[in-house]
Structure 1
Amino acid sequence: MWGQEFQISGEVRQTNGQNIAFANLVLLHASDSSFVTGTASDENGFFAFNNIAPNAYFLQASYIGNSSPFRRIELTSNTSLETIFLDNEIQELHEVVVVSNKPTVVKKVDRLVFNIENTALSESDIWEVLKNTPSVFVMNEKITVKGESGVQIYINDKRVQLPQSDVLQLLSGTGASAVQAIEVISAPPAKYDAEGGAIINIKMKKNLVSGYNGAVFNRYEQGVFPQQMLGTNHYFKGKKLETSFNYSFGQEKFLTRYTDVTYFMDQGNVRETWTSYLESIDKRKKHTASVFLDYPLDDNNTLAFSSIASLRPLGNARDFSDTRIQEQDTPNGSGFYTNIDSESEGVNTAFYLDYIRKLNPEGARLSFNSHLTYYQYEREQLLSTDFYDNNRRVANENDFSTTNDQQTNLYSLQTDYQSPIGEKSTLETGLKYALINSESRIDQVGFDRDQPGIDPTEKGVFLYDEHIWAAYASFQTQGEKWSLKSGLRAEYTETTSNFSQLNKKVKKDYLELFPSLYLRFAPHDNHQWGLSVKRSIARPSYDKVNPFQVFQSNNSVVEGNMDLQPSFKHSAIFSYTYQSDYTFELFYRYHTNIIRLLTFQDNEYELLRFRTSNVDRELAYGSDFIYNKGVAKFWDTYFLASYFYSAERFVDLDSQQKIDQGLWTLLVKWNNNFSLLKDKSLSGNINFMYVSPIIRGNSRQEKYNEWEISLKKTVFGKRGILSMGLTDVFKQFNLRNTRKYGNQYNTSVYRPDGRIFSLGFRYKFGNLGIKDNYRSKNVEERNRL
């Protein structure tokens, strides 16, 4: 029985006896309703599932919104089913009314699943869906999970390997109609790379019907300056070949304001106050494209090729700042004006080749993956400074220029094996090798060498190589009321750093183990308990280990750190869910050597130093409360409140003393989704986010919040989607950071152009019954470009 395979066949007809061509048929395991396979009926309404192992299954047929009841099949031999009938009266209606249900949140053993299929959210784009996903915070185009950064975006378990700004363009230009669910994995299991934080995995629907569909879209945004993005998506599925192509082009121009106040100290007293007002205008264009090709060689072997590319043509930025210097007890102050003109361009392209072999009908499979990434970034900057006296007359000037570029190549090979053990258990194991080669160059000329404290890297080359060998094993099993998943991942890393000015190589190597454990116990339909324990690593990005000193003005410098160490995080989460609507969690997180960008003031030379360093440790513990409920037929709401204590210990750059800072913090997320009009063709969202004061490195970040509203209307028989939205409605999103301890006393305020009005339109054409195969790839090293 174990080695046998059988066929399930039958016909799909209307109640008047007419055959139904291209009806969708789905086969599910009867034990847990998990997906087995799918197919479509031919021109005569006939369908067949081949090579199916003996077991108990559910079968369902559907066509244009009509579905048959689930039919149970006990498969022990080739089975020909009685004709499946679908009602033809509903199919003959001139318009089909689709009722949107509220998204469903499901707690699994190692992740939270946010089902959006057949809801109002499926008519938006994927970026909009992420804003409405439980536990996910999107503010100022930055993604966090419950306030934790380092989030990785995956599609169908494959990572989107692009910088976050390009991820925004990619997901904003991809419709959510093909999305089945969003998975939030707070503590990724052993199968995933130990590098990084939480994972957001976008699960796409299964492809059942052959054909072609596509879409064109345009989005206009207006803040202080206008911005626009347009693009197109195309998908084709033939008898064997399955391919998709996606392209978007964006033009951006945005204004950002900064205010920095530094109180330079002398023996505990304020000697001078430096106040800098900066306006930055960035103007750039971006091209993002992807292509995916899947070709099944036969029923058991599949070959796939993929490529993702992001191109930034030459763009420019112009900054102007006025820095005013006020001495104590002096009515008039001196200062300086600074103009910065810069140009930058870059390219990031990746290629993937995958081979998947099905080993047996029970689900055993073996896969091989190869990957290559080429990344290059170049930037030129010209800085001009005029110094003025107490009467604001120009007394001196200084001009200097900076040119730097980075080129990185990533290579990786990976193999994975997965096999069921009996009916309730699964074993996964795999190996991976990754090679990273990075070269950075800098050239800075024109400095006033008589200014104290100025010692920039005038000219230098930095080479960085990294080798990672990894192996993992994971085991999952479940009983009637419980589930368990455990795993162990081992990673051995070798790094070599070579800085031309030091004229020596720095080598490091380390072997680390990363265990993980997940438990879920559901003694009753209304009660569910969960526990997860995980260890992970965060390696420094390739530009952060670059030791160059790059001056942004005459009194501010950004410094890399060749001595950066990897950081390690230990986390544990205990949860309880009642009736799927109420969840209470207790969590603990201990992070050693956490990597932070710290700001220090040099009181002797009157400089601000922005230096990436290893913070000694971060400690956090607290609780989360989650409420997810349909308030009315047209209104559902999601509410998250996270209250926790967070403390960080860092080393003061001047005194070399360890300093502890801690604070209780409250995070709030409140999403409201509305389905309006009789046919549910109008939907709206009102979202609110709030973060109370929080500790970040050696800074205290003050509270901030944001309101957002949006509307969507389907038109032209649901082929067109018109959207409109407004972010930061009350213009309350400002980030104020203060550093006040020992001889440090400075404040910085970041004010982005957050209030943005957007207007968009997407038009879909072709066969809308087929689904997109859009996905990306999993190579964690690209995240550190």
Structure 2
Amino acid sequence: MSSSSIIKLFFALVIPIVCSAQSAGLSGKVTDKAGHPIAFANVALWMADSVKKTSYTDEAGQFEFKDMSQSKYTLKINTMGYAPYSAEISIPENAVLADIVLEESTEQLANVEINYRRPVVNRKIDRLEFDVENSILSSDNAWEILRKTPGVSLSGGGISIRGSNSILVTINDKKVYLTGEELKNLLENTDGDNIKSIEVITTPPSKYEAQGSAVLNIKMKRSTNEGYKGSVVGAYEQSMYPKGVMSTNHYYKGNRLSAYGGYMFGSGHYYGRNYSTVKYMDDNGDVSSIWKSREQAHYRATSQNSFNLNLEYQIDSLNTVTFGGNSFFSMKSTANIHTPTYIYDGNGVLDSVFDAKNHRDYPQKNNTLNGSFEHKFRKGKLILMSDYTWHYFNQSQDVNTLFSLPGEAPYRSQLLASDDNRRISLFSAQADYSGPMGKYNVETGLRFGNVNAENDFDYEQEIDGEPVSIDGLSNRFLYDEAVFAGYFGLDREFGKWALKAGLRGEYTSLEGNSVTTAEVNSQDYFKLFPTLYTLYKASDDHQIGLSYGKRISRPPYSYLNPFRLYSTPYAYVTGDPRLQPAITHNISLLYTLKNKYNFDFYYRYEKDPAMEVMYQDYGTNTIISKVTNIDNNYVAGLDFNTNLELKDWWQSGIQASTMYKEDTFQGIDGTMQKNKIVSFFVYMNHRFTLDKKKTWTAETGYYYASPGVSGVFKFGDMSSLSASFRKTMLKGKAELSFIFSDIYRGEQQTTTVRYANQDRVAHQYNDTQNFRIQFRYRFGNQKLGDKQRQEADEKGRL
């Protein structure tokens, strides 16, 4: 990063914070109904029809006027999102005013309710809550709101918290953990105006399953008014290739019955590029050969379909039943991956060439059914719930490779064909109780989860049209896992202190069976997962918290699969059925200043994490990517975030973090290696209201991630600049958006593996630069809330 860039970044971070410190005289404090200070409100003293003095409230909601003449004035206060305030005062009699409480204002556009307050970050004892209800962010979808949520990073297209991708995503505390594009599609088609808040839980309490390093909970508004509402959305996106999506959502609330239904259809082409250079060394450490691959991938998903349905029936005031289901299927998904590879000798002279063309068909579908029953006691409630998921995935692949000498016709051809057929079923049932017990609030429950997976993998190979026998590549893999869990937690507030503690126990029994090779891996273990939190509110301006939690990361099912998936004859990926679960310890020290500036000091230690390790097999000149348990990793870091209202038409969100990360792994040479680095991340988002009627808004977003490490890999830096414009029309019922992402293609990344005799560099780009135009139309009673339901707890490991 250049010195000029650092200077610009410094001023971009510092100027908004400096701007928030306003000085003003006749003193007073402005708050909302909850007693929270309102910063940057415009305060004016009027006499007759003219303004005599103006000022702004500071971060604590305070204002002051000096050197005023003794007279009567009209005090007027205005700020976005609140009703105007006006009162007659006399100076000096009213030199110090009682606290002024502003009422939130709502502008009615037909049936659409739009407020304009800024999003608020609330510190709770066990989580950070990003309150976006009726804020300027409400017009975004859930995916874009996550991008602006403190502590969350969407760099590279995935979700990460504190550098970890092992995230449990829930909606209303119910898991909807899909993978990759499926999860992104779901969140992109979840309306932001139905979201109440986003909870970032870096140390999840005992009620959550112990799997994963953090929880991201999306809290939806609950419908209170009877009626019907709906919406339709159409979007066109242009990157390297065109894409399109259509979706519709419908909600109904009656006296006892509430229903939600949604459908999404997407179709598009996707592009990826990965250029790599691999160097092989001789015994003297000199370069003996250089392999340069130029992979370009073209993916087609011409029929992506998603259904959601949820029914809730209130039997009476104490009993409620729900039933729901969802489905995702993409049966027309294909890929063509072209990878020419040029092999040079140690002097850089081209020696030979092979050209691999990989065609894949991979239809897939997920279906889930779920139900629950809730009973309310006088001071508590009991919830019983269950779900069942079945997952289908079939990938057939043909890798055709031609081998040639420089400038000559191919002298040999090779066909490697495979068929990967997976069937996975997941079942879970649980009971949860919460309520008071003496001076404490208690939550306790039991859960059972079962996974059954069958995977058949068949290989065929031909060389120059003749079949070739391959021993040990075709196989049948069976996997069965059962988890029994119970938890107990309690919390209490007294004075300025809040305490919370919990304990979760999980017994796991699993068996992985490679039928063809007769290799069976059985594991039975019981683990305890304690959590402890404390929060001290020294004053309205200062809060200090401390937390500890223990977690487990069981490997995804695909990591346990021992089969080889070839991309070229000299590169494949394989799993390991003997993988062990990783145990993680999280410690956090939290500090919040003036309910606005949040600091998190944290430490995370992870033992035996499972991750992909890439290495060069010198015997076969093959690049092997194998999932294995590395020894350990740990991270120590500091996070900072704030949301500011700089003007009534300008809001800003800032996130910044720095961390030290160290991964310890065993190299292919048998020695213990350390990969370590100090890295930092910054994200800035600016939101503008462009006209007085608030029908035009604009937004810019920028992030920069410095180089990082993961296992054997070192990653180069990445950055991205985005911009969007949004127009509200038809009395607020319609919305037209123009979105520009990764404007200068900053989301390109360099990955290196260098230690001992390993030397590989790759440059990757995943088609992130794009333009999107989107139209949304809402109809019906838009004051209704939204509800989403859960999916199976194990589904995130598909």
The two structures have a TM-score, normalised by structure 1, of 0.86
Distance 1:97 1:127, change over 3 A: closer
Q: Give the letter aligned to residue 622 of structure 2.
A: L
Distance across 1 between alignment mates of 2:275 and 2:683: 28
User: In the alignment, is the contact (CA less than 8 A) between 1:445 and 1:458 conserved in 2?
Assistant: no
Distance 1:99 1:376, change over 3 A: closer
| 1:258 paired residue among 254, 274, 284 | 274
User: In the alignment, is the contact (CA less than 8 A) between 2:611 and 2:711 conserved in 1?
Assistant: yes
Is 1:417 the equivalent of 2:455? Answer: no
Post-superposition offset of 1:447: 5.1
User: In the alignment, is the contact (CA less than 8 A) between 1:99 and 1:680 conserved in 2?
Assistant: no
Equivalent residue, structure 2, for 1:583? 598
Equivalent residue, structure 2, for 1:505? 520
Post-superposition offset of 1:132: 1.4
Equivalent residue, structure 1, for 2:477? 462
Equivalent residue, structure 2, for 1:431? 446
Distance across 2 between alignment mates of 1:342 and 1:212: 44
| 2:794 paired residue among 774, 781, 784 | 781
Post-superposition offset of 1:320: 0.9
* 4+ aligned runs moved over 3 Å, structure 1: 30-33, 90-99, 447-451, 453-458
Equivalent residue, structure 1, for 2:328? 310
Distance across 1 between alignment mates of 2:126 and 2:321: 30
Post-superposition offset of 1:752: 1.1
Q: Deviations along 1:504-551, whole A, 9 cap, x unmatched?
A: 432111100101111111110010101111110000111110111222
Post-superposition offset of 1:118: 1.7
| 2:638 paired residue among 587, 598, 623 | 623
Q: Give the letter aligned to residue 349 of structure 2.
A: P
Post-superposition offset of 1:633: 1.5
- Alignment map for 1:315-714 (pairs within 5 Å): 315-329=333-347, 331-360=349-378, 362=379, 364-422=380-438, 425-446=440-461, 457-653=472-668, 655-714=669-728
| 2:744 paired residue among 730, 736, 745 | 730
Q: Specify the SS of the correspondent of 2:619.
A: coil
Equivalent residue, structure 1, for 2:316? 298
Post-superposition offset of 1:673: 1.9
User: In the alignment, is the contact (CA less than 8 A) between 1:457 and 1:550 conserved in 2?
Assistant: no
Is 1:770 the equivalent of 2:784? Answer: yes
User: In the alignment, is the contact (CA less than 8 A) between 1:265 and 1:603 conserved in 2?
Assistant: no
Q: Deviations along 1:60-95, whole A, 9 cap, x unmatched?
A: xxxxx999x9xxxxxxxxxxxxxxxxx9xx999999
User: In the alignment, is the contact (CA less than 8 A) between 1:665 and 1:692 conserved in 2?
Assistant: yes
Distance across 1 between alignment mates of 2:387 and 2:111: 47
Is 1:748 the equivalent of 2:762? Answer: yes
Equivalent residue, structure 1, for 2:17? none
Distance across 2 between alignment mates of 1:450 and 1:618: 48
Distance 1:456 1:356, change over 3 A: farther
Equivalent residue, structure 2, for 1:53? none
Distance across 2 between alignment mates of 1:484 and 1:374: 40
Is 1:178 the equivalent of 2:194? Answer: yes
Distance 1:98 1:468, change over 3 A: closer
Unaligned ranges ≥5, structure 1: 1-29, 34-64, 70-86
Q: Give the letter aligned to residue 781 of structure 1.
A: E
Distance 1:31 1:692, change over 3 A: closer
User: In the alignment, is the contact (CA less than 8 A) between 1:354 and 1:368 conserved in 2?
Assistant: yes
Equivalent residue, structure 2, for 1:274? 291
User: In the alignment, is the contact (CA less than 8 A) between 1:334 and 1:391 conserved in 2?
Assistant: no
Equivalent residue, structure 2, for 1:22? none
Distance across 2 between alignment mates of 1:108 and 1:197: 19
Q: Specify the SS of the correspondent of 2:403.
A: strand
Q: Give the letter aligned to residue 208 of structure 2.
A: Y
Distance across 2 between alignment mates of 1:240 and 1:702: 55
Deviates more, 1:478-487 or 1:97-106: 97-106
Equivalent residue, structure 1, for 2:119? 103
User: In the alignment, is the contact (CA less than 8 A) between 1:456 and 1:550 conserved in 2?
Assistant: no
Distance across 2 between alignment mates of 1:425 and 1:770: 34
Could you say what the CA RMSD is over the residues aligned between the two structures, in angstroms? 2.6
Distance 1:91 1:378, change over 3 A: closer
User: In the alignment, is the contact (CA less than 8 A) between 2:241 and 2:270 conserved in 1?
Assistant: yes
Distance 1:585 1:735, change over 3 A: same
Distance 1:450 1:614, change over 3 A: farther
Is 1:757 the equivalent of 2:774? Answer: no
Post-superposition offset of 1:244: 0.3
Distance across 2 between alignment mates of 1:586 and 1:671: 23
User: In the alignment, is the contact (CA less than 8 A) between 2:226 and 2:254 conserved in 1?
Assistant: yes
Distance 1:91 1:756, change over 3 A: closer
Post-superposition offset of 1:585: 2.2
Equivalent residue, structure 1, for 2:243? 227
User: In the alignment, is the contact (CA less than 8 A) between 1:249 and 1:286 conserved in 2?
Assistant: yes
Q: Specify the SS of the correspondent of 2:555.
A: coil
Distance 1:680 1:549, change over 3 A: same
Q: Give the letter aligned to residue 484 of structure 2.
A: W
Q: Deviations along 1:574-598, whole A, 9 cap, x unmatched?
A: 0111112222221111001111111
Distance across 2 between alignment mates of 1:339 and 1:235: 47
Distance 1:742 1:427, change over 3 A: same
Equivalent residue, structure 1, for 2:174? 158
Deviates more, 1:459-468 or 1:313-322: 313-322
User: In the alignment, is the contact (CA less than 8 A) between 2:112 and 2:783 conserved in 1?
Assistant: no
Post-superposition offset of 1:265: 1.7
Equivalent residue, structure 2, for 1:195? 211
The two structures have a TM-score, normalised by structure 2, of 0.84
- Alignment map for 1:17-28 (pairs within 5 Å): none
Q: Give the letter aligned to residue 147 of structure 1.
A: G
Q: Deviations along 1:447-481, whole A, 9 cap, x unmatched?
A: 55999x99674321000000100000010111232
Q: Deviations along 1:419-456, whole A, 9 cap, x unmatched?
A: 1235x6310000001111001111110155999x9967
Q: Give the letter aligned to residue 521 of structure 1.
A: Y
**Residue identity (%):** 29
Q: Deviations along 1:644-675, whole A, 9 cap, x unmatched?
A: 1100011113x222111111111111121222
Post-superposition offset of 1:336: 0.7
Distance across 2 between alignment mates of 1:767 and 1:95: 6
Equivalent residue, structure 1, for 2:254? 238
Q: Specify the SS of the correspondent of 1:333.
A: strand
Distance across 2 between alignment mates of 1:543 and 1:449: 33
Q: Give the letter aligned to residue 313 of structure 1.
A: M
Equivalent residue, structure 2, for 1:51? none
User: In the alignment, is the contact (CA less than 8 A) between 1:497 and 1:506 conserved in 2?
Assistant: yes
Distance 1:181 1:708, change over 3 A: same
Q: Deviations along 1:146-184, whole A, 9 cap, x unmatched?
A: 322122221111111322311111121121111111111
- Alignment map for 1:64-143 (pairs within 5 Å): 100-143=116-159
User: In the alignment, is the contact (CA less than 8 A) between 1:738 and 1:746 conserved in 2?
Assistant: yes
Post-superposition offset of 1:765: 0.5
Distance across 2 between alignment mates of 1:550 and 1:375: 20
Distance across 2 between alignment mates of 1:204 and 1:709: 26
